[in-house]
Amino acid sequence: MPDNSRRALNFLLGSGIIASLASFLYPVAKFLRPPRVPEAPVNEVRVPGASQITPNTARIVKFGTRPVLLIRVNETKWRAFGATCTHLNCTVQYRSESQQIWCACHNGFYDLNGRVVSGPPPRPLDEFVVRARGDEVVIARRS
C-alpha cells in the first residue's frame, strides 16, 4: 500500500477513535465536576433570609417537594409543620391574632402543636424539627 494512503488511513482511524473518545470523555469530565448545590435537600433545608421573619409571623418554605409552614413564635422559638391541610389538601396559613394555623378552604383550625382545634380536618399536621443557630435556621424531618 502506498505510503501516503497508509498515512491517510491511519490518520482517519486515529482521528475517528480520538473524536469518539472525546465525545465519551467530555460528558464524563463534566459529570465529575461537583454541581453548584452539592447534595439533594432531602433531610434538611436551610431557610434563606430567616432573620427577616418577624416574631409571630410565618412563611411557606419548600422542603423537597412539599410546602412547609415555618412559624416564628417569638424571638427564639420556631415551629414548622407540613403546610398541606389534612382535609382536602389546601395550603394552610398562620393567623397571628389567634396564634393558630388556619385553612381558608373550609375553616379548619390547628393549634401550635399542629393538632386540630376545630373544623373538618381529620388529622393533625406533620411536624418538622427547627434548629436555629444565630441567624441560620434549618428545618429537618422528625426522625
Partner 1 sequence: MSVSLTVLLMLAPAAASRDTCRDCHAALEGPLAKPAVEFARDVHAHSGFGCASCHGGDPTQEDPALSMSRARGFVGKIVRTAVPRACARCHNDASLMHKFKPQQRVDQLTQYLTSIHGKRLAQGDTAGATCTDCHGAHGILEVRNPQAPTHPLRLPATCGRCHADTRLMARYGLATNQLAEYQASFHWEALSQRRDLSAPGCATCHGNHGATPPEVSSVAAVCGTCHALLEELFRKSVHQPLFATMQRGGCSVCHGHHKVERTSVDMLDGQKSVCAGCHEPGSPGARLAAEMGRRIRELRSALDRSDQILARAARDGMEVSEAVLRQQEGREALVRARVAVHTANLEEVLAWTKQGMAVAHATWQAGQEALRERDRRRMGLGVSLCAIALAIAGLWLKLRSVEASRPGL
Partner 2 sequence: MERAMAVQAARRWQGWLEERLGWDRVRMFLAHKEVPVHSGTAWYYFGGITLFLFGIQVATGILLLLYYRPTATEAYESVQFILTRVEFGWLIRSIHSWSANLMVLTAFIHMFSVAFLRGWRRPRELTWLSGILLLGLTLAFGFSGYLLPWNTTAYFATKVGTDLVGSVPLAGPALARFLRGGDEVTGATLTRFFGFHVAVLPALTTALLGLHLALVQRFGISTPPWLESRGDVPQMPFVPNFLLRELMAWYLALGVLGMLAALFPWPLGEKADPFAPAPAGIRPEWYFLAAFYTLKLLPSHIWVLESEQAGLIGLGLLALWWAALPFWGVRPDGHERTRLLTGTGVLLIAWLSTFSVLGYFK
Q: Kindly tell me which residue out of 2, 42, 122, 135 binds partner 2, with binding defined by CB under 8 A.
A: 42
Would you state the cell numbers that stand for residue 76, as one nine-digit string? Answer: 427564639
Residue 137 bridge partners (DSSP): 47, 132
Q: How far is the CB of 27 from partner 2 (least distance, A)?
A: 4
Residue 134 interaction partner, one of partner 2, partner 1, none, beta carbon < 5-8 Å per kind: none
Contact window for partner 1 (CB under 8 A) among 32-40, 69-77, 115-123, 125-133: 115-123
Measured CA to CA in angstroms, residue 135 lies from 49, 55, 56, 138, 141 at distances of 8, 14, 17, 10, 20
Q: Residue 43 interacts with partner 2 (CB under 8 A)?
A: yes
Which contacts qualify for 129-134: CB closer than 8 Å, 24 or more apart?
129/80, 130/70, 130/78, 130/79, 130/80, 132/50, 132/76, 132/78
Q: How far is the CB of 76 from partner 1 (least distance, A)?
A: 31
- Enumerate binding residues for partner 2 (CB under 8 A): 20, 24, 27-28, 30-33, 35-37, 39-40, 42-43, 64, 141
